[in-house]
Each structure stands twice: as structure tokens, then as C-alpha cells.
Amino acid sequence: MRKLGKMERARIDVTGLGKTYGPVTALTGVDLTVAAGSVLAVLGHNGAGKTTLVDILATRTRPSTGKASVCGYDVATHGHEVRRRIALTGQFASVDETLSARGNLVLFARLLGAPARAAKARAEELLEVFGLTEAADRPALTYSGGMRRRLDLAACLVGSPEVLFLDEPTTGLDPVSRTGLWATVRHLARSGTTVVLTTQYLEEADRLADRIVVLAAGAVVAGGTPAELKARVGARTTTVTFRDEWSARWAVEEFQRIGLAPTLDPDAYTVTAALPDAGVILALLRALDRYGLDLADLTVTEPTLDEVYLSLHRAKWQQPPAPAAVERDTA
């Protein structure tokens, strides 16, 4: 019963949201909705306005213009009701450094209204899930950056938030912890939690999100499902490295024969080409194998955030394009 009610309400509505800090426009004219139980990824470079957006939705910052509601409550007028239903892990660690991991988790559980014993049990559970059991009784001051990050994430799962805000949750995490966090987010979304996360990585957004919005200079410049966005951005790219220049030059012809448009870097012995679909890889490998060309390396890369920006190249963003992307564009 409760679940149904939760599904109806747990969502986010934002219209015409803007925030200015003196002369700086951090957000402008942002419209978006997040359906209950879905994952929204907010993608954008440094200074794009991601943290500002999350902080407004989590009632830590007041909007300058526009309206935002979370779970049906206006963030500006019903902050307390919003706070009862959300949890936030900000971009920067926000735990009590003098307390241990266990102490922190118990503290936050108690503040959410958990009785002492239940708070301890919940802390124990989260310590295990986030791999903090061994360090559980040391002050957080002594933790590594990644451990602190994990504690931060655990802290926002102490209660049962209907909406979870994660501001660059995987920054500073090692690959194992990152994969673990992704699993956690998926699990939470499946069980009905609405998740808003910010990231700089298209790959992360692609893996987790039902929808992505791209922020640039405080404005939404693109939005859609990961598939839609990638379709607009273009394909994956493959880079094949050979043992010598001669093989690389030979391979260029093979690339062309199966319909790809390769770029050769004779100094690095690499050939790069966009892949229209995954199947082409097989055809490419067969063709290279026929001539016994020896591969030193083969990588397939997803389009990066830079490419999203470049391909959208709308509006007023002032981010200097990364050198790699420029080269590929002109090639």
C-alpha cells in the first residue's frame, strides 16, 4: 500500500529554475521532470551548474527564479516536508570527522528518528555493504578519500529516502567501489527510489540513467534517454594499434574495404574509425586476420562528454574543446 503511494508522489518537477550569485548565473531557465522510481543523470562540465541544481532540490540553496517541487512539495516553501523524503550526498564529504564511521551512521539514524538499537543495527548493515567494517571504529579523519566517500554514501542510505540526490558520487572511488555503487543505485531504483545523480562521465550516465540532461553554463542543452543522446552524438570509435607502420598502412585499406572511414596515425601505428554498429568489429577482425596482421592493442571507446558538447554545439558554453576531440573532428 505504502509503496503505491510512494510511486505516485516520488517525483520532481522543475520549471523555469534559475539561480544567480551576484553577477554569476549558475542556473537559468531549467525545466525538467523526473518520474517516480527513475534515475536521472545530470551531465556537465565543471561549473555547469550541477551542484547548484542538486542543492536547490535538496533545499540547501534557495532558487532565485522559477519553481521546483520534490515529492509534491515546493522546495522553497515546504523545505521540511522535502527533507523528510530525501537524502543527499553532496560533492564534498559531509560527515563528522571526529566520529568513526559507526558513530556517524548511528548519529544520522538517530536524527532520523531511529531508536538506539535499530540505529546500531542499520549502521552495522551499511558498514558491511560499503566495506567499512574494518575501519568502523577509527575517526573518519583518518580515512582515505575513497573511504570517506563511501561513508558519505552510506550515510544517505541510513533512512528510506524516496528521492536520493548524489552529487558526483563516483568521483574518487576505485573501480571496485564504483561498480558497487552502480549496483546499489540500480537496486534502489528497482525498489522504487527516485535517484538524481550528477556526473562528468557519459559512460556512467549511460549505465545508470533512464534519462539524461546535459547542463552547460547553467542551461539544459540536451535531454533524453541515453540511447537518444548517443544517437545524436554518434557512434563508438575503435582504435587499433599495430606493431609497425607498414601493418598500419596496410590495415587502412582493409578498414576501407569493409566500409569504415579510418584515420591513420603513422607515428603511433594506430588506425581509428567510427563504428556504425558493434557487428562491424567482427568483420574488421576477420579482415585483419586474413592477412595475418599482428595487433598490439584494440580499444572501443564510448563517445565522451566532449563529443556530446561538440555535437550539440548549441548556445553559449565556453568550455575549450579537448585537443583529442578537435583532432578527430578535423581528420
Partner 1 sequence: MNARHARTTRAPEPHDRTGWTGSTLRTQVWVLTARSLRAAFGDYRLVFFGLLQPVVLLLLFSQVFSGVGSLPGVAAYDGYINYLMPATLVNIAMITAMGAGAGLVAETYTGVVGRFRSLPISPVSVLLARTFADTARLAVQLVVIVVAAVLLLRFRPDGGPFGLAAAVLLTLVVGWGLSWVFVAIATWQRNVELMQAVSFIAMYPLMFSSSAYMPLQNMPAWVRAVATVNPLTYAIDAARALALGRSPGWALPLAVLLAMVAALGGGAAAARNFRRSA
List of residues contacting ligand ATP (CB under 6 A):
21, 24, 26, 44, 46-52, 91
Alpha helices in the chain (DSSP H): 2-9, 50-57, 79-83, 101-111, 116-129, 145-155, 175-190, 202-208, 226-233, 245-257, 279-290, 305-312, 323-330
What secondary structure letter does DSSP report for 96?
A: -
Q: Applying CB under 8 A, does 143 fall inside the site for partner 1? A: no
Nearest residue (CB) to partner 1, 68 versus 305: 68
Please select the residue that binds partner 1; options are 118, 231, 261, 298, rule is CB under 8 A: 118
The DSSP bridge pattern shows strands 12-21 and 219-224 to be unpaired
CB of 231 to ligand ATP, least distance (A): 25
The candidate with the shortest Cα–Cα distance to 12, out of 158, 116, 147, 164, is: 164
Q: Segment 75-104, which members bind Mg ion (CB under 5 A)?
A: 91
CB of 200 to ligand ATP, least distance (A): 6
| Angle between helix 305-312 and helix 226-233 axes, rounded to 10 deg | 70
- Residue 126, C-alpha cell as written in the block: 551499511
What secondary structure letter does DSSP report for 140?
A: G
Window contacting partner 1 (CB under 8 A); options: 40-48, 95-103, 273-281, 315-323: 95-103
Window contacting partner 1 (CB under 8 A); options: 68-76, 80-88, 223-231, 321-329: 80-88
Nearest residue (CB) to partner 1, 83 versus 236: 83
Q: Applying CB under 8 A, does 183 fall inside the site for partner 1? A: yes
Please select the residue that binds partner 1; options are 29, 79, 224, 321, rule is CB under 8 A: 79
The candidate with the shortest Cα–Cα distance to 185, out of 51, 89, 117, is: 89
Please select the residue that binds Mg ion; options are 28, 38, 51, 247, rule is CB under 5 A: 51
Q: Applying CB under 8 A, does 90 fall inside the site for partner 1? A: yes
